[in-house]
């Protein structure tokens, strides 16, 4: 298809498509003349992925490019690549040598504590914020959260593709896209439970 | 205590305290002279709540004021007040007459569908974003999410105070403060499960 059709199919403006081509986020089309190129379904799919990373996940174009490079060339083994890709997602949390609240919580849940995981800093930040607001998480709540979040994570991993590039894409999008689904479901469950009680 | 001590205890700058007093977010202290007043523990607590609503939850001062008014004067019954307070939290989602994806999901989960709940619009928005990115939620995942999120919501409600003002404060802070805890725990559970598999 011509670039005008690509604009129509994806809703991504021509200027953005040219920008993504220049920055290497979108792979070039097949040249059909000195000034034109032909694009295929892989370009439609890639633009959907770029849109998801920038519009929905809220990454800058530079950060989206870094994630796309990890998807295109998973390096150092899948586990490290996955960790690096997920670490580029918001929220940003300050890097510290030790995260005492996160460490205690993970020890209680029987999970590995690793200060190199970005999510460890995010957990520390979230636990500290709850504490400062006068609502520190107690063991009863932590145990319930840990058990049920683990079951959710297990359901997430069922659909994980075995191809490394697809696995990284799946993990990045699945992490970012389903967080808001879970948050909305939690509020609706609160409302449903409260309606029954009140 | 004097206002200078209140600044020290809470870390909230004097200019902000004066602003909150003027806007009615912080209740006045007890006058001790024509230009001075004395503040108590209730002011320390209130400032922690204002900080949580503005800094952590990310509300504007005007929106935080609206939530605080609901906490101070729960009206129309607790259920409606809770709904209104939670509806003022992010994310903002467009109001529509119908939310077909959210309706289908809630019907499947056996929960009430109510287009007046803000979280219904949030769920629709999140499901539509996942669909656009080529990762629509399937029934297997939805069922797992629904079951375990409900268990999390039940754990949340255990600690709910019976006093209406405290219940609204608990619901607002608990909704906003524990979402990031759950998101971080989900990522860490992914990493834990992936480490065992890869």
pLDDT higher at A198 or A46: A46
**B139-158 vs B164-197: helix axis angle to the nearest 10?**
130
**Closest CA–CA distance from residue B191 to any residue of chain A (Å):** 7
Cβ contacts of A133 on chain B, cutoff 8 Å? 48-49, 51-52, 56, 173, 177
Contact yes or no for B171 and A184 at CB 8 A: no
DSSP state of A164: H
Q: How far is A38 from chain B (nearest CA, A)?
A: 23
Is B81 part of the contact surface with chain A (CB cutoff 8 Å)? Answer: no
Task: State the pLDDT at residue A86.
Answer: 92
Q: Phi-psi bin for B63: left (phi > 0), alpha (psi -120 to 50), beta?
A: alpha
| Residue whose C-alpha is closest to residue B142's, from B126, B164, B154, B153 | B126
Rounded to the nearest angstrom, the minimum Cα separation between B124 and chain A is 9
pLDDT of residue A50: 94
- Partner A contacted by B104 (CB < 8 A): no
Q: Please choose, from the candidates B12, B80, B180, the residue with its C-alpha nearest in 3D space to the C-alpha of residue A102.
A: B180
Q: Which of A48, A132, A151 sits opposite B134 (nearest CB)?
A: A48
Over residues B57-98, the pLDDT tens digits come to 889 999 999 999 988 887 778 888 898 899 989 888 999 999
pLDDT band at A164 (very low <50, low <70, confident <90, very high): confident
Under CATH, which number does the domain B1-56 receive?
Answer: 1.10.1660.10
Exposure class string for A142-178: b at 16+ Cβ within 10 A, else e = bebbbebbbbbbebbeeebeeebeebbbbbbbbbbbb
Top-confidence residue, A14 or A195: A14
At B99 the pLDDT is 98
Tell me the residue length of chain B.
198
The CATH 1.10.1660.10 portion of chain A extends over: 1-56
Q: Judge if the upstream peptide bond of residue B140 is cis by omega within 30 degrees of 0.
A: no
Q: What is the pLDDT of residue B26?
A: 96
* A75, pLDDT greater than 90: no
CB distance from B112 to chain A under 8 Å?
yes
How many beta carbons lie within 10 A of that of residue A39, not counting itself?
Answer: 22
Residue A197's pLDDT is 80
pLDDT for B148: 98
Q: Is the pLDDT of residue A76 over 80?
A: no
Question: Mind listing the pLDDT tens digit for each residue in A34-59?
Answer: 889 999 999 998 999 999 899 888 89
- Where residue A143 falls among pLDDT bands split at 50, 70, 90? very high
- Can you give the pLDDT at residue A77? 83
Lookup: tokens for B108: 């499947």
The stretches in chain B having pLDDT less than 70 are none
The number of angstroms, rounded, from the C-alpha of A151 to the middle of its chain's C-alpha atoms is: 19
Cross-chain residue pair B194–A157, CB shorter than 8 Å: yes
B74 touching chain A per CB within 8 A: no
User: Across the interface, do A119 and B188 touch by the CB < 8 Å criterion?
Assistant: yes
Q: How far is A190 from chain B (nearest CA, A)?
A: 6
Please indicate if any CB of chain B lies within 8 Å of the CB of A66. no
* Whether A104 contacts chain B with CB within 8 A: no
The predicted structure's pLDDT at residue A57: 85
Whether A6 has a pLDDT exceeding 90, the answer reads yes
pLDDT tens, residue by residue, A85-142: 999 898 889 999 999 999 999 999 999 999 999 999 999 999 999 998 889 999 999 9
Query: Does the model's pTM come out above 0.80?
Result: yes
- Complex ipTM, two decimals? 0.91
């Amino acid at each position: 298809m011509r670039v005008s059709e690509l604009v129509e199919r994806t809703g991504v403006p021509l200027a953005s498509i040219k920008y993504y081509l220049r920055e290497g986020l979108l792979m070039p089309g097949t040249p059909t003349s000195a000034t034109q190129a032909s694009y295929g379904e892989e370009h439609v799919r890639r633009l959907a992925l770029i849109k998801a990373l920038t519009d929905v996940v809220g990454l800058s174009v530079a950060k989206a490019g870094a994630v796309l490079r990890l998807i295109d060339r998973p390096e150092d083994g899948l586990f490290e690549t996955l960790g690096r890709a997920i670490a580029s997602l918001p929220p940003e949390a300050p890097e510290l040598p030790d995260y005492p609240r996160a460490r205690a919580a993970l020890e209680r849940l029987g999970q590995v504590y690793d200060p190199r995981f970005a999510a460890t800093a995010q957990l520390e930040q979230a636990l500290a914020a709850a504490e400062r607001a006068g609502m520190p998480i107690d063991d009863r709540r932590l145990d319930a959260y840990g058990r049920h979040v683990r079951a959710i994570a297990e359901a997430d991993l069922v659909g994980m593709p075995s191809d490394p590039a697809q696995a990284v894409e799946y993990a990045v999008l699945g992490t970012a896209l389903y967080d808001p689904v879970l948050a909305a479901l939690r509020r609706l469950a609160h409302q449903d439970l409260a309606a029954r009680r009140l």
